Amino acid sequence: MEIFKTETKIDFLGKTRITLALSAILIFISIASIAFHGGLNYGIDFAGGTLVQLKFKEPPSINDVRDGLKTMGMGESSIQEFGSKNDILIRVQRSDGKLEAVGQNIRDALSSKFNKDDITVERVEMVGPKVGKDLREKALLSILYAIIGIVIYISWRFEFQYAIAAILALIHDIVITVGAFSLLDKEFTLTIVAAILTIIGYSLNDTIVVFDRIRENLRRRGKFSLTEIINGSINQTLSRTLLTSGTTLLVMMAIFLRGGEIIHDFSFALLIGVGIGTYSSIFVASVFLVYWESRARAR
């Protein structure tokens, strides 16, 4: 299936100044946002604490819930609707007692504001600070190992300069996706790490398709320059890129809008990542490849 009946002749590399400036601005905003917020808004997975999900018979007032919790001395707490107006998610820094008792204690504390029989404890999760730190380190290592594996694979399948171009494009995608979470003050959890690893795989697959065509065309380059070959290769794979990314984004948008709160942030990360990954496979990886190939040929 093809979107375009004839091969397009878009000068992608001719827009390098604009696209690199756009990427630089997005990366700057991402890093500035993380620095401004003093780091990412880590979820309970990484920061540690207790999470309790309650279901009320009638939509409760958030202020009444907050007032009811004040008597418990649980430190800073975050209270928000989760899914429907009847479901409330409470995150607290610390809690006393066993995991099974935490939900019941919170339910008892809210009895001053609500009828206890109208409150159901749906789930209670607790993560200690040491476990959170350990999970943070393992999440970073999982991304680092993925990048090292990609460098080895692409260097073996193509050449080292292809691996460098692909990795720079992936780092570009990760920084902007994480920056979007920081900018919107969304929680950064283990689920988002899984989304980032998915984005790495997706973006890499897109980049390799373009690299494959570039390598084929380089073997029969004739009178064409490196820039013309890379431009031609991107145009030849453009239909495939747009079809794959377009259908993926449609599915992600449907999940984002209708999938519910549990996978809301996961689908948001994929929406940003797939969009940025498609852009970087066309405009970022190819630019770095031109740079490295030109340097290699100049020696």
Calculated CA dihedral for residues 203, 206, 211, 217, nearest 10 degrees: -160
Residue 117 pLDDT: 81
Q: What percent of the chain has pLDDT over 70?
A: 90
Total-model pTM: 0.79
Pairwise CA distance, residues 208 & 7, whole Å: 20
- CA dist 198 and 143 (Å) reads 11
Q: For 146-176, how does the pLDDT look when each residue is reduced to its tens digit (9 = 90+)?
A: 888 888 888 888 888 888 888 899 899 999 9
Percent of the chain with pLDDT over 90: 16
Q: What are the pLDDT digits (tens) for 185-208? A: 888 888 888 898 888 888 888 888
Name every residue whose Cβ is closer than 8 Å to that of residue 167 and which is 6 or more positions away in sequence.
147, 150, 151
Span 7-20, mean pLDDT?
A: 85
Name the β-bridge partners of 82.
84
Residue 98, phi then psi, degrees to nearest 5: -75, 160
Q: For residue range 98-146, what is the model confidence (pLDDT) as tens digits? A: 666 777 778 887 877 788 788 888 888 777 666 677 777 888 888 888 8
Whether 101 and 83 have beta carbons less than 8 Å apart is answered as no
| Domains in the chain, CATH or no CATH each | 13-43+131-298 (1.20.1640.10), 49-127 (3.30.70.100)
pLDDT at 254: 92
